[in-house]
Amino acid sequence: MTNPSVIRYCEKIICPLTARVVFQLVALNLVPSSDWCLGGEKNLPGTSMAAIGVHLGCTCACVAVYKDGRADVVANDSGDRVTPAVVGYLENEVIVGLAAKQSRVRNAANTVDNVKQILGRSCTDTQAQKHISESKCLVLEKGGKPKYEIDTGEAVKYVTPDEVAKLIFSKMKETAQSALGSDINDVVITVPFDFGEIPKRSLGEAAVAAGFNVLRMIHEPSAALLAYGIGQDVPTGKSNVLVYKLGGTSLSVTLIEVNSGIYRVLATSTYDNIGGICFTEALTDHLASEFQRSYKQDIRGNARAMMKLMNSADVAKHSLSTLGSSNCFVDSLYDGIDFDCNVSRARFELICSSLFNQCIEPIKKLLEQVEFKANDVNQVVLCGGSARIPKLQQLIKDLFPEVELLSSIPPDEVIPIGAAIEAGILLGKDNLSTDLDTLTIECSASDILVKELDDAGANRFTVLLPSGTPLPARRQHILQAPGSFSSVCLELYESAGKSNISTEYKFAQIVLKDLQTKANDVHEIVTVLTMKRDGSLHVTCTDKDSGKSEMITVDETS
């Protein structure tokens, strides 16, 4: 309580205004906390309106922040927008990111990378076994679960892949927080489409352990679509999008149907044997043979020299995506010899030509699988760092000559940006349904078409309600008929496939009679189709001028 004498002093001597201020302060002190508020609006206690999307890949992790309606990738403390998903254990500290990757040359046995390959998998899993055989860090099976053996001198530690993932997530959290300058918890995490239940859960638990509040886990291809906002503007229309993701250690191609703003995966396939690392390895091998040619020394047996060379090749590969040629320089590569070699982009493409073929082949296979032609694909989204390679983009462009190739966002940032956008959508929504993995919804089974005549007088079918539309759905079209007609007939057809439509697919017709003929004008018929969840269709046709209307209701044949 303020001393009364102070108040009086204020009143008399200084000025009444000050006294009032003091009184107000006292009054404020009297106001109790706000939790007694009954029946009134609930105030959300200071939620920061920002959320982040995190993509944890095999080789790299990336975080994007959604704030003020925009999603953007934030750079980490070393200024890189992408953080290598490498964790190095030193004697008395653990380092994550670029520092760990660079110190791998000296600390290979205690450096963990590609942790995503083994996360949530048992030792008997084929992919896990591949990882165990490739990892420079010893992996042992303890209690049915794989663990990394970390020997930093004092004591041998056993680290689970989950803990490694947690460290990476913590790093991403730090990165986002330092960029935003505030604490942030809400996150959307991406998972590959081929991740099973257990790896997915492990990933989620690792994120929770890092202090995140996981809003949702979404599939990487969907995130890529969301980053480009495909189907997000208007909830009508239907298109097919191919997502081509060439990551560090894996390649995945996914075909997604976007209908009414909702994404549906038609087909997907993942190849674990090809990835960006293959290009680096091919380039490294070339450089090693160059070295052998110049100095008559084979360094392939020397693990450390190869690792140095590989780091250099990695840098060269990156710069070759933008430059015509790149210089590889390694000080004291082997036996004190400095190595210097110039690689042109053409040379690089020559070296990797077979790899490029391997990268393109899956697209063709996928299209065959769903019996699509190249023209059936409306858009192609590139993601994954290696999708930057110009030759690869060229090859994909050749494959889809008519199709828009989306690569305006840097390919390795597409997925986190999509995740951040999703986080922005989910932000502030309560009662989020968490169990969305097996979400199925009703969709219309077949296209609903109307027969029209084109200018040449041939039959033409216009899709009124495409197949795969989430139900319930309503579509409104304005159809036109020549003004000279006094009656108009809408013949409605349904078609399940792409085969030619014949009269046997006709299921209804709507006739509007006694229309006023107009010499130089057209009749505008407003057609509204409404399909319920059980698949029954209701069609209303109204002539815009006269207001005459007809409607029908069609149920499915049971």
Question: Which residues between 487 and 546 bind other proteins (CB under 8 A)?
Answer: 487-491, 494, 496, 506-513, 522-523, 525, 530-537
Q: How far is the CB of 383 from other proteins (least distance, A)?
A: 15
Whether 218 contacts 188, CB under 8 Å: yes
Rounded CA separation 274/395 (Å): 17
Whether 263 contacts 222, CB under 8 Å: yes
93 counts as binding other proteins under rule CB under 8 A? no
Which residue matches tokens 């047996």?
A: 301
Among 482, 516, 518, 546, binds other proteins (CB under 8 A): 482
Which residue matches tokens 């990156």?
A: 318
262 counts as binding other proteins under rule CB under 8 A? yes
Rounded CA separation 461/454 (Å): 9
Q: Which residues of 244-265 are buried (b: 16+ CB within 10 A; e: fewer)?
A: bbbbbbbbbbbbbbbbbeebee
- Which 8-state DSSP code applies to residue 513? -
Rounded CA separation 327/463 (Å): 56
Omega before 472 cis (within 30°)?
A: yes
Rounded CA separation 553/558 (Å): 15
- Which 8-state DSSP code applies to residue 399? H
Rounded CA separation 356/340 (Å): 26
Instruction: Decide the pairing of beta strands 83-84 and 60-67.
Output: antiparallel
Instruction: Decide the pairing of beta strands 139-142 and 111-112.
Output: unpaired
Which residue matches tokens 């046709």?
A: 541
Among 59, 128, 473, 543, binds other proteins (CB under 8 A): 473
Q: How far is the CB of 22 from other proteins (least distance, A)?
A: 13
Q: Cα 236 to the chain's mean position, in Å? A: 22
Applying CB under 8 A, the span of 94-102, 153-161, 354-362, 479-487 interacting with other proteins comes to 479-487
| Of 110 and 467, CB closest to other proteins | 467
Q: How far is the CB of 259 from other proteins (least distance, A)?
A: 9
Per-residue mark of binding to other proteins, 205-224 (x: CB under 8 A) = -----------x-xx--xx-
SS3 state of residue 149: strand
Applying CB under 8 A, the span of 27-35, 286-294, 333-341, 400-408 interacting with other proteins comes to 27-35
Using CB under 8 A, which residues numbered 101 to 120 contact other proteins?
none
| Of 398 and 437, CB closest to other proteins | 437
| Of 40 and 401, CB closest to other proteins | 40
> What phi-psi label fits residue 400: left (phi over 0), alpha (psi between -120 and 50 degrees) or beta?
beta
Applying CB under 8 A, the span of 171-179, 204-212, 292-300, 436-444 interacting with other proteins comes to 436-444
Per-residue mark of binding to other proteins, 440-459 (x: CB under 8 A) = xxxxxxx---xxxxxx----
Rounded CA separation 308/305 (Å): 5
382 counts as binding other proteins under rule CB under 8 A? no
Q: How far is the CB of 415 from other proteins (least distance, A)?
A: 12
| Of 226 and 363, CB closest to other proteins | 226
Using CB under 8 A, which residues numbered 294 to 333 contact other proteins?
none
Q: How many chain residues are in contact with other proteins, going by CB under 8 A?
A: 95
Using CB under 8 A, which residues numbered 388 to 417 contact other proteins?
none
| Of 343 and 421, CB closest to other proteins | 421
Per-residue mark of binding to other proteins, 40-79 (x: CB under 8 A) = xx--------------------------------------
474 counts as binding other proteins under rule CB under 8 A? yes
